[in-house]
């Protein structure tokens, strides 16, 4: 039996606001990834989208994790957004060489594309993906409206993804767009920021390969997320039954309660599918140890 029928993760592993609620008091920033990886099975590697890490940093990430952990690093924005996948073969090669120490712990190389990347660019995406060895796991996130219109453009994209065995990454941003916010709203700043930056695209729950990824962008008030997650309580177990291993990435607009929300959504999934328990949060382990002595 697969020890991880489903991989649960967050958008980040380091957040100052989790110091007491997740990591435990006194945790140094350099120890956060190790503690994160003791609970969650994967992480969405946003950090490589914004900046290229040093080789020593990549090696530190390897040292802080274990062989069963999986990263889903995004390709650098210079490749995906600025160059739109064109003329960047040498840059991609350099990036992949830099990340080599972690290749065995990659769940997906994420190609997140801007809304401007439309059907007319599909051949660019195909040529770009041909640069990868066949064994490399690839996930593609599109944001152009035509790829969600259930027309010929979406059909062609999905057929190609299925043929190549690439996963189509699914964005579920419904919670952050679920209400009209005013300045008096207690979470005005974080919700406004999310509504301005996150795409508001339809949720097409299609698995084009073996590791469908759901990016669930939650509301900062935990109770307002469960109704939106209900459809996934049936879809994810279906995929697991089919032999797929879904990745579920939980965000919130400010990520303050992301670990707790992920844990509680996972408990809901455990009622529908046979999933192993999560380890306790490191902060809880620490509190237990303090009480014992």
Q: Which of 18-27, 141-150, 157-166 has the lowest mean pLDDT?
A: 18-27
Number of H helices, E strands in the chain: 11, 9
Cβ count near 22 (within 10 Å): 23
Task: Compare 20 and 225 and report the one with higher pLDDT.
Answer: 225
Residue 66 lies in a domain: yes
Residue 287 pLDDT > 60, yes or no? no
Write out the DSSP string of 6-68.
SEEEES-S--GGGIIIII-TT--GGGHHHHHHTT-SEEEETHHHH-PPPHHHHHHHHHHS-TT
Share of the chain above pLDDT 90, in %: 90
Cβ count near 115 (within 10 Å): 12
CA distance 17 to 86: 39
- So what's the pLDDT on residue 3? 83
Q: Which of 8-22, 26-40, 258-272, 273-287 has the lowest mean pLDDT?
A: 273-287
Q: Are 146 and 119 contacting, i.e. CB atoms less than 8 angstroms apart?
A: yes
Q: Are 232 and 200 contacting, i.e. CB atoms less than 8 angstroms apart?
A: no
* Mean pLDDT calculated for residue range 32-49: 96
Confidence band (pLDDT; 50, 70, 90) for 286?
low
Residue 289 pLDDT > 80, yes or no? no
Structural domain tally of the chain?
Answer: 1
Q: Tell me which residue of 88, 174, 172 sits closest to 132, measured CA to CA.
A: 88
**What three-state secondary structure class fits 180?**
coil
Confidence band (pLDDT; 50, 70, 90) for 290?
very low
Segment 228-243, tens digit of pLDDT = 999 999 999 999 999 9
Q: Tell me which residue of 17, 1, 7 sits closest to 258, measured CA to CA.
A: 17
* Mean pLDDT calculated for residue range 153-176: 97
* Mean pLDDT calculated for residue range 23-34: 94
Confidence band (pLDDT; 50, 70, 90) for 264?
very high
User: What number of residues does the chain have?
Assistant: 293
Residue 278 lies in a domain: yes
Residue 65 lies in a domain: yes
Residue 143 lies in a domain: yes
**Domain of 144?**
7-292
Residue 2 lies in a domain: no
Helix, strand, coil % in the chain, rounded to nearest 5: 45, 15, 40
Residue 278 pLDDT > 80, yes or no? yes
CA distance 137 to 90: 20
- So what's the pLDDT on residue 288? 45
CATH, residue 222: 3.20.20.410
pLDDT averaged over the chain? Answer: 94
With vertex at residue 210, the alpha carbon angle to CA 157 and CA 207, rounded to the nearest 5 degrees, is 45
Dihedral, CA of residue 205, residue 4, residue 96 and residue 168, to nearest 10: -10
Q: Are 278 and 39 contacting, i.e. CB atoms less than 8 angstroms apart?
A: yes
Dihedral, CA of residue 277, residue 282, residue 288 and residue 289, to nearest 10: 130
Residue 222 lies in a domain: yes
CA distance 201 to 259: 25
Residue 1 lies in a domain: no
Which residues, 6 or more positions from 223, have their beta carbon under 8 angstroms from its beta carbon?
Answer: none
Confidence band (pLDDT; 50, 70, 90) for 2?
confident
- So what's the pLDDT on residue 156? 98
Segment 87-119, tens digit of pLDDT = 999 999 999 999 999 999 999 999 999 999 999
Residue 28 lies in a domain: yes
Q: Are 15 and 255 contacting, i.e. CB atoms less than 8 angstroms apart?
A: yes
């Amino acid at each position: 039996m697969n020890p991880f029928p489903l991989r649960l993760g967050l958008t980040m592993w380091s957040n100052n606001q989790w110091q007491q609620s997740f990591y435990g008091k006194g945790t140094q920033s350099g120890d956060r990834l190790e503690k994160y990886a003791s609970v969650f099975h994967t992480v969405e590697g946003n950090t490589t989208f914004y900046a290229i890490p040093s080789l020593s940093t990549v090696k530190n990430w390897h040292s802080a994790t274990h062989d069963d952990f999986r990263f889903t690093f995004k390709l650098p924005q210079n490749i995906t957004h600025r160059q739109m996948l064109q003329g960047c073969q040498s840059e991609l090669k350099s990036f992949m060489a830099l990340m080599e120490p972690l290749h065995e712990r990659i769940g997906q190389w994420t190609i997140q594309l801007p809304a401007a990347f439309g059907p007319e660019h599909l051949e660019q995406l195909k040529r770009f993906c041909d640069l990868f060895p066949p064994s490399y796991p690839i996930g593609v996130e599109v944001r152009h409206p035509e790829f969600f219109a259930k027309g010929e453009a979406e059909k062609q994209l999905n057929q190609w993804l299925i043929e190549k065995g690439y996963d189509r990454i699914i964005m579920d941003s419904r919670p952050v767009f679920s209400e009209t916010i005013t300045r008096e709203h207690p979470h005005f700043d974080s919700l406004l920021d999310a509504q301005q930056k996150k795409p508001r695209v339809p949720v097409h729950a299609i698995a084009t390969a073996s590791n469908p990824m759901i990016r669930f962008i939650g509301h900062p008030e935990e109770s307002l997320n469960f109704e939106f997650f209900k459809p996934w309580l049936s879809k994810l177990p279906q995929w697991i039954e089919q032999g797929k291993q879904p990745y579920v990435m939980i965000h919130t607009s400010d990520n303050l309660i992301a670990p707790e929300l992920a844990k509680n959504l996972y408990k809901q999934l455990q009622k529908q599918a046979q999933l192993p328990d999560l380890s306790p949060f490191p902060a809880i382990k620490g509190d237990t140890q303090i009480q014992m002595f």
